[in-house]
Amino acid sequence: MKMRKLTAMGLAAVMAASMVPAIPVMADDAAGKVYYLNFKPEQDEAWQNLSKAYTEETGVEVTVVTAASGQYETTLQSEMAKSDAPTLFQVNGPVGLKNWKDYCYDLKDSDIYSQLTSDSFTVKDGDAVDGIAYVIESYGLIVNKTLLEKAGYSLDDIKSFDQLKTVADDIQARKDELGIKGAFTSAGMDGSSDWRFKTHLANLPIYYEYKADGVEDTDAIKGTYLDNYKNVFDLYITDSTCDPAELSAKTADDSRNEFVNSEAVFYQNGSWEYGELSKTFADDELAMIPIYFGVDDENEGLATGTENFWCVNKNAAEEDIQATLDFINWCVTSEAGTKAMAEDMGFTIPFKTAQASSNIFVTQDAEYTAAGLIPVSWNFTTMPSEEWKNALGTALTGYAAGTGDWDAVVSAFVDNWATEKALSE
Amino acid sequence: MVGKTIKKWWPIFILPTLAAFIIGFLWPFIWGIYLSFCKFTTVQDVTFVGLSNYQKILLDSTFSHSFWLTVAFAFLSSLTINVLAFAIALALTKGFKGTNVFRTVFFMPNLIGGIVLGYIWQTLINGLLSKWGQPLLALSARNGFIGMLILLMWQQIGYMMIIYVAGLNNVSPDLIEAAQIDGATSGQILFKIKIPMIMPSVTICTFLTLTNGFKMFDQNLSLTGGDPGKQSQLLALNIYDTFYARSGAQWKGIGQAKAVVFFILVVAIALIQLKATSSKEVQQ
């Protein structure tokens, strides 16, 4: 009897103990520690290795946690509410900063800020430097040069939108002879892929409008260049590997697989795809050309910019903030740090001590710029909200499938811009 | 002896569960209600704003749209699920060969999670729609709604069927035999004996299907994601969307306020339904 009672008590105690959250082993707090909530799942391993190297070198504890793809904002929200909140996190630009500006440490006097090559790689709230970009990326049309040559063309034949259309139309007409499914990979409008059109392609009309009007942001977009937007999108969905009505279900993987399997010649995406594509293609088989928009084609370069800004949590303990500042500065200045960022992560970083990346799309971007082309800046960081992008995506999907018309796209672009800008203030 | 021991030791047995209930349910629930009166980015760092979140719900047209859509969905789904589940249960209590195999097969879908089901059915339904030349799920709110209905039916009919089978097996054969001797038709036996006798099962099944219909989230998220343009967004997804997908601190509080309204609604409907059906239950 006594034995049974003891057993019962023991079991109950174990159950009760399992309810109490594990108490973390206290580290030596005096030195400060770094907790980085990483946004890019594809670079998780590289960050883990880099943080380990940093700990070995300096003894400072660095934890890197990577949020699941598409879950960054949710993960950040719950992590920031914890007592051991991330000391280093990221926002995607001025719109993303709205949620987090009360949590951002002013980086104005930090070492890393002085290492930036240009002040434009920051997000600011008034005078305070809230975020610092740590990677520069480019996007455009990725070309399968082998297939292009097989079709009898070279990159020199494509220098404007009209030429692109001629070449693509011809390739599309001869697709069976060339053994491909279409000129462009499917412009998938599934959630995994629609950002290529509702965000990246939609950047071009915004870029040209801002440029023409001499502004950097606006509360009311006019949609001056929406006809060009329509032309490019029409080209994508007509000279495509699939029926436009099926696009709503096509994913990012579908599109990439079509390109990797040499079923299409052109693929709109960015320099971050290099890692995946280089598994199949040799460097001289790939090229990235600007998304010719029919506005200023002879001067248009790749769309180059960033939506990855590092922010330091100002509510963290003082020694943790200092440890974090030291860590990010080390990442972008030390030999080991810059090497890891250039080679393991394939990043071009906007800092004075950056090392050259082996990513050929990045190299190409530099060549275009050296040849006098003007990079298209990333203005989608000024898009009013996710909501705006989603509504535009829905309108585009409907237009592609024929269930909606282009007026709906125009309205989602222009009218909804004003509505959403007003709402987010 | 046993009673005495329990009297002495009950706190040890009840405390772990009670603690889990308070930590995992009660406290978040109370805090959640408080949050609906606040503006916040993270849940610990909040500013009290009073009732303004609730005022903003009324101005949000997506909320009223998804509200009515959810009401329609919940009633339609519980009606179809219960009728079909009962029909299958009736068929499978007739004592055919292989009854157990069929019961197992019908129950199987219930073992798969909603997200997975949503993606599988998305592929299936899209394949069919594209063959028929119909707009795909992401393009047509009507197709999305029907798709969700089919998905939920497929998933839940088996579960409700098991409850009805158990109920039907408990109807005493004596009663049915007596009715047959008195010359009752099979329709009369069904409506005058079987259904009144299994009213407890009906109560529990309508309760489950109604609340499941109202709360449906994962199937909605994975099958249609609310497309096109939130037209197929049910309430739970609308709340999630308000809370997470909108930038700006004010939306979190509005999402939270929607969640409180949603809670009151589900509780009210469940209570009304329980009262209505349990009053029809008969004592054996």
Domains of chain A: 8-136+306-352 (3.40.190.10), 139-303+367-424 (3.40.190.10)
Q: Is residue B46, in this structure, part of any structural domain at all?
A: no
Name the H helices within A20-127: 44-58, 72-80, 94-100, 111-115
Option in A15, A81, A191 nearest B42 (CB): A81
Domain that holds residue B162: 52-278
Q: Can you tell me the distance from the alpha carbon of B224 to that of B218, in angstroms, rounded to the nearest whole number? A: 10
Option in B19, B140, B246 nearest A387 (CB): B246
Helix (H, G, I), strand (E, B) or coil at B95: coil
Predicted pLDDT at A422 = 82
Chain A positions touching B45 (Cβ under 8 A) are 81
Average pLDDT score over residue span A247-252: 88
Residue A7 has pLDDT above 50, yes or no: yes
State chain A's mean pLDDT as an integer.
88
Predicted pLDDT at A1 = 46
The alpha-carbon gap from A371 to the nearest alpha carbon of chain B, in Å, equals: 39
Residue pairs spanning A and B at CB distance below 8 A: 95
Option in B139, B245, B246 nearest A397 (CB): B139
Backbone angles phi, psi at A48, to 5 degrees: -60, -45
Q: Can you tell me the distance from the alpha carbon of B239 to that of B226, in angstroms, rounded to the nearest whole number? A: 12
**Whether residues B63 and B29 fall in one domain:** no
Predicted pLDDT at A30 = 57
Predicted pLDDT at A9 = 58
Q: Is residue B41, in this structure, part of any structural domain at all?
A: no
Q: Is residue B40, in this structure, part of any structural domain at all?
A: no
State which H helix or E strand residue B122 sits in: helix B114-132
**Whether residues B91 and B13 fall in one domain:** no
**Whether residues B170 and B205 fall in one domain:** yes
Closest chain B CA to residue A21: B23
Option in B20, B136, B245 nearest A19 (CB): B20
The residue of A5, A313, A383, A390 whose CB has the most chain B CBs within 10 angstroms, and thus the best one to mutate to test that interface, is A390
The residue of B10, B23, B42 whose CB has the most chain A CBs within 10 angstroms, and thus the best one to mutate to test that interface, is B42
The alpha-carbon gap from A274 to the nearest alpha carbon of chain B, in Å, equals: 29
Predicted pLDDT at A209 = 95
Contact between A189 and B138 using a beta-carbon 8 Å cutoff = yes
Contact between B245 and A12 using a beta-carbon 8 Å cutoff = no
pLDDT tens readout for residues A333-384: 999 999 888 888 878 888 888 888 888 898 898 899 889 899 999 988 888 8
The alpha-carbon gap from B268 to the nearest alpha carbon of chain A, in Å, equals: 30
The alpha-carbon gap from A178 to the nearest alpha carbon of chain B, in Å, equals: 27
State chain B's mean pLDDT as an integer.
88
**Whether residues B151 and B250 fall in one domain:** yes
Residue A10 has pLDDT above 60, yes or no: no
Choose between A30 and A127: higher pLDDT: A127
**Whether residues B108 and B194 fall in one domain:** yes
Structural domain total, chain B: 2
DSSP letter at A413 equals H
**Whether residues B6 and B105 fall in one domain:** no
Closest chain B CA to residue A424: B248
Q: Is residue B101, in this structure, part of any structural domain at all?
A: yes
* Residues of B engaging A, defined by a Cβ cutoff of 8 Å: 5, 9, 12-13, 15-16, 19-20, 23, 41-45, 122-123, 126, 130, 133, 135-140, 225, 227-229, 244-249
- Indicate if the alpha-carbon torsion angle A40, A41, A43, A44 is positive or negative: positive
Closest chain B CA to residue A85: B42
Contact between B130 and A189 using a beta-carbon 8 Å cutoff = no
pLDDT tens readout for residues B104-156: 988 988 888 889 989 999 999 988 988 888 888 888 888 899 999 999 999 99
Closest chain B CA to residue A19: B20
Helices and strands of chain A, counted as H and E runs: 18, 12
Chain B positions touching A9 (Cβ under 8 A) are 9, 12
**In terms of Cα–Cα distance, which of A202, A218, A253 is closest to A391?**
A202
Q: Are B42 and A80 in contact (CB under 8 A)?
A: yes
At A410, the amino acid letter reads V
**Whether residues B142 and B266 fall in one domain:** yes
Q: Can you tell me the distance from the alpha carbon of A235 to that of A219, in angstroms, rounded to the nearest whole number? A: 30
| Positions of E strands within A154-231 | 182-184
**Whether residues B86 and B180 fall in one domain:** yes
CATH number, position B163:
1.10.3720.10
Q: Can you tell me the distance from the alpha carbon of B194 to that of B167, in angstroms, rounded to the nearest whole number? A: 9
Complex ipTM, two decimals? 0.71
Q: Is residue B108, in this structure, part of any structural domain at all?
A: yes
Q: Is residue B103, in this structure, part of any structural domain at all?
A: yes
Residue A28 has pLDDT above 70, yes or no: no
Closest chain A CA to residue B17: A16
Of A14-23, A293-302, B174-183, the one with minimum mean pLDDT is A14-23
